[in-house]
Each structure stands twice: as C-alpha cells, then as structure tokens.
Homo-oligomer: A and B are copies of this chain.
C-alpha cells in the first residue's frame, strides 16, 4: 500500500504527538469541540487557546500550524474509524459469527452507532473537512476503500456462499452497502442531529432496506 503525502503527514504527526501531555490533550479537546461547532475556517487559534487554557504560543509550539492541528484532531479518529483495521471491530463483528447477512449488517450498524455516539463532534469535523479538502479526500478514499475491501471481501464471499447475497461484483455490493450505511450515519449525526432516535427500529429499517429494498417481491 503506497503511502501518500497526506497520510504520511498524518502518521508522522501521530507519532510526534504520541506522548501527549496534559496540555496537548486540552488543546485537542478544545479544537475538536470548536471545529465541530463552527467549522475549521471559522475557528481562530486564539479561541482554541482560550478554551483550552493555554497560551496561543504553546499551541504553535506543539502543532506548528493550524492546519497541522486539524490533522492531529482528525488522525486518531480516522485510525479508529477506517475501522475495519482496528482489531476491535474485527473481533466484535466477525462475519463468520453471523448466520445471516441481516444480523451481520445490523451488528455492524450498531457497532458504528455506538462508536459515533462517543465521537459525534469529531465525526462532524471530519465530514465537513472531507467535503472541503479535495486533497484529503483523494488520498483518504482509496485507502479507505482498499481497507474496506480487504476486510469485507471475505464477508461478502461468506454470505454469498450462504446464498444470502445477490450475485453482483463485490465492489458494487460494497459501494451500495457502504453508501447506505454512511449516508444513514451522515444524516443522523450531521445533518439532523438533536433528533431522538429509536435505535432498534432504525437499524431494523436500514437492514431491511439494504437487504430487500423497498420493492415488494
């Protein structure tokens, strides 16, 4: 997997900020909250400094530029979120443990919902900035796709063997499924937040839709 410029930067950055001091922790927290609330461009470094209780200079001592701070905010999130890498998800939602595709997709959705419940702010930041930053997107998406493919290809094969999936090419299946999941999450957490959600009902609806569409057989 060829490492790309931005991802390099991300990784380098993530290594640099490994030993996060208490102050850095504060800074990142404040940055997440503010970026999520009013976007990267509309948040000033002085606001971040004030909210995190450090001097503005400190912020630049640690992160060099505002842009870099953004990356430091996004990176750890992405590392967990391009998630299928992460062992936890692997373990939590191992397709082989599920007898039906419905159950598997339901579990996946619930897993991501649980994750986003804990990370709404960062999700908002990431989504907004992905829309704005072609570069970031162009570097991230292929990476994401290949990771997803690496993880889900096996699952798709598995459920095809079980006779539960249409005979479409895996990339197509992947795209349809992930787009549905992603757009559901985007609406739920970014476009219409503040809305109360009945998780069970919503997951069921989504699972039914992904597997069976809206048409009557």
- A-side residues, CB < 8 A to B, are 38-39, 41-42, 101-102, 127-128, 130-132, 137, 141, 163-168, 172-173, 176-177, 179-180, 182-184, 186-187, 190-192, 205, 208-217
- Residues B216 and A131 in contact, CB atoms below 8 Å apart: no
Checking B41, B102, B141 against A39 with a beta-carbon cut-off of 8 angstroms, the contacting residue is B41
A216 to B159, CA, bound (A): 10
Given A128-B131, A180-B183, A182-B183: A173 and B214 within 8 A (CB)?
A: yes
Chain B min CB distance to A117 (Å): 20
- Residues B39 and A165 in contact, CB atoms below 8 Å apart: no
Given A179-B187, A216-B165: A205 and B39 within 8 A (CB)?
A: no
Question: Can you show 10 pairs from A to B with CB atoms below 8 A apart?
Answer: A38-B132, A137-B191, A164-B216, A166-B216, A176-B205, A177-B214, A182-B183, A208-B213, A210-B213, A210-B215
- Residues B166 and A214 in contact, CB atoms below 8 Å apart: yes
A180 / chain B contacts, CB cutoff of 8 Å:
179-180, 183
Given A131-B128, A209-B176: A101 and B164 within 8 A (CB)?
A: no
- Residues A131 and B190 in contact, CB atoms below 8 Å apart: yes
A168 / chain B contacts, CB cutoff of 8 Å:
205, 214
- Residues B216 and A163 in contact, CB atoms below 8 Å apart: yes
Q: Rank and list the top 3 A-B pairs by shortest CB-CB distance, nearest first.
A: A211-B215, A183-B183, A41-B41
Chain B: which residue is nearest A201 at the CB level? B172
A215 to B166, CA, bound (A): 6
- Residues A165 and B41 in contact, CB atoms below 8 Å apart: no
A177 to B166, CA, bound (A): 20
- Residues A213 and B217 in contact, CB atoms below 8 Å apart: no
Chain B min CB distance to A180 (Å): 7
A141 / chain B contacts, CB cutoff of 8 Å:
191-192
- Residues B132 and A39 in contact, CB atoms below 8 Å apart: yes
Given contacts A127-B131, A168-B214, 13 further A-B contacts (CB under 8 A): A39-B41, A102-B215, A128-B132, A131-B190, A137-B191, A141-B192, A165-B215, A173-B214, A179-B184, A182-B183, A209-B213, A212-B215, A217-B217
